[in-house]
Amino acid sequence: MSTKTINLTLKVWRQNGPKDKGQFETYQVNNVSTDSSFLEMMDVLNEQLINEGKEPVAFDHDCREGICGMCSMYINGRAHGPDRLIPTCQLHMRKFSDGETITVEPWRANGFPVIKDLMVDRSAFDKILQAGGFVSVNTGGVPDANAIPIPKEAADEAMDAAACIGCGACVATCKNSSAMLFVSAKVSQLALLPQGKVEAKRRALNMIAKMDELGFGNCSNTGACEIECPKGISLAHIARLNREFLTASFTA
């Protein structure tokens, strides 16, 4: 069976660095297989640009399996594009029509300055995680730690929170560029487990303080972050983070 191909017009954001003004440039890409991923289509564009003696478009990628979170692109006004519960690397070109114009931009947030073109600096997330510290509770060897009784509901919810890949779609989607969904997921994955409860209050205070310091906005309460999150992280984690933060603030 023959593979369907489509012709596309791409409006891609080009920017040399965080201090450069930047602008959209328009490219034509033809005979794109609808079975290919969005990143594979970008590879085709870059090969075309290289053959024309032009500079390829810089964009982040690593695993291309929906794990690393590096493939962050704002596509036609939506984080990761028109599909749901997937990052850009798992978006396929069958979601687009022949002759369509696709606008591709980087995340736009103070906390994520542009490095080049579609690449942004997401090291702010690493700094927030570092501010949260680590679990210092000694649970003994692996058999001892595995023997700690944990309710299945709590374990399942902690695993759901741990599914966050730190891509930044929540920040890019929020009108205030808030990182609350990311921070709440990282707080929940530890606060729900007995090993993480000992330092839960300090962790919530430190991570929120670092988030504010790095220029992320306040939660807008619109729920856009949950809708666009490629891993479907729930807003319920933000409610838990707020409870942890308020409790910690009163007892600090």
75-109 per-position pLDDT tens digit: 999 999 999 999 999 999 999 999 999 999 999 99
Q: Are residues 221 and 131 in the same domain?
A: yes
User: What pTM does this model have?
Assistant: 0.92
Predicted local distance difference test score (pLDDT) of residue 198: 87
CA–centroid distance for 155 within its chain: 23
| End position of a domain, from candidates 67, 85, 116 | 116
Predicted local distance difference test score (pLDDT) of residue 143: 78
Give the Cα separation of 172 and 225 in Å (integer): 8
Q: H helices within 100-151, ranges in order?
A: 123-132, 142-146
CATH number at residue 174: 1.10.1060.10
Q: Are residues 182 and 106 in the same domain?
A: no
Q: Are residues 135 and 234 in the same domain?
A: yes
Q: Are residues 103 and 133 in the same domain?
A: no
Q: Count the alpha carbons within 13 Å of 138 in the hemisphere toward its beta carbon.
A: 1
Confidence of residue 219 (pLDDT cuts 50, 70, 90): very high
Q: Are residues 152 and 104 in the same domain?
A: no
Q: Are residues 150 and 80 in the same domain?
A: no
CATH number at residue 108: 3.10.20.30
In the three-class reduction of DSSP (H, G, I as helix; E, B as strand; rest coil), residue 127 is classed as helix
Confidence of residue 252 (pLDDT cuts 50, 70, 90): low
10-68 pLDDT tens trace: 999 999 999 999 999 999 999 999 999 999 999 999 999 999 999 999 999 999 999 99
Compute the CA torsion angle 247, 250, 251, 252 (nearest 10 deg): 110
Q: What whole-number percentage of the chain has pLDDT above 90?
A: 83
| End position of a domain, from candidates 84, 116, 148 | 116
Q: Are residues 96 and 172 in the same domain?
A: no
Structural domain including 237 reads: 123-251
Q: Are residues 53 and 27 in the same domain?
A: yes
Average pLDDT, the chain: 94
159-169 pLDDT tens trace: 999 999 999 99
Helices 123-132, 180-191: axis angle to 10 degrees equals 30
Q: Are residues 197 and 176 in the same domain?
A: yes
Q: Which residues pair with 27 in a beta bridge?
A: 10
Domain total in the chain: 2
Q: Are residues 183 and 246 in the same domain?
A: yes
Predicted local distance difference test score (pLDDT) of residue 2: 56
Confidence of residue 251 (pLDDT cuts 50, 70, 90): confident
Of 54, 159, 138, 69, the residue nearest 107 (C-alpha): 69
Q: What whole-number percentage of the chain has pLDDT above 70?
A: 98
Q: Which residues pair with 24 in a beta bridge?
A: 13
Contact predicate 57/47, CB 8 Å: no
Predicted local distance difference test score (pLDDT) of residue 228: 96
Q: Are residues 154 and 245 in the same domain?
A: yes
Predicted local distance difference test score (pLDDT) of residue 147: 82
